[in-house]
Amino acid sequence: MWTVYILRCSDGSFYVGLTNDLKQRIRDHQSGDGAQYTRARLPVSLKYSEGFKSKKEAENREHQLKRWSKAKKEALIKSDMAKLRQLSRNKS
């Protein structure tokens, strides 16, 4: 099982990543052994995760989320599908 996740960093920014061991990956981020981006913005907190059967599916979703605006990520985290649709239409 692969997981795409969103972390909120101490500066309010978001980090999107993927892993096959979410608990360990969060520990890595919190200890400073995760990504360079999060290392400079500790502490981080898990705000969203989504599971996938294949790594390829997870990579595709990670790539999609990384291109999203902060507002779209916040709507996803809040499960505000109406806001998410609105933000998607505004981009088109």
Write the CATH number for 84.
3.40.1440
pTM value? 0.93
Contact call for residues 10 and 43 (beta carbons, < 8 A): yes
Residue 92 has pLDDT above 70, yes or no: no
Q: Which pLDDT score, from 0 to 100, does residue 88 have? A: 86
| Number of domains comprising the chain | 1
Show the domain range for 47.
2-91
Q: Give CA–CA dist 79/24, Å, rounded.
A: 25
Q: CA 73, 78, 81, 83: dihedral to nearest 10 degrees?
A: -70
Tally helices (H) and strands (E) across the chain. 5, 3
Residue 91 has pLDDT above 80, yes or no: no
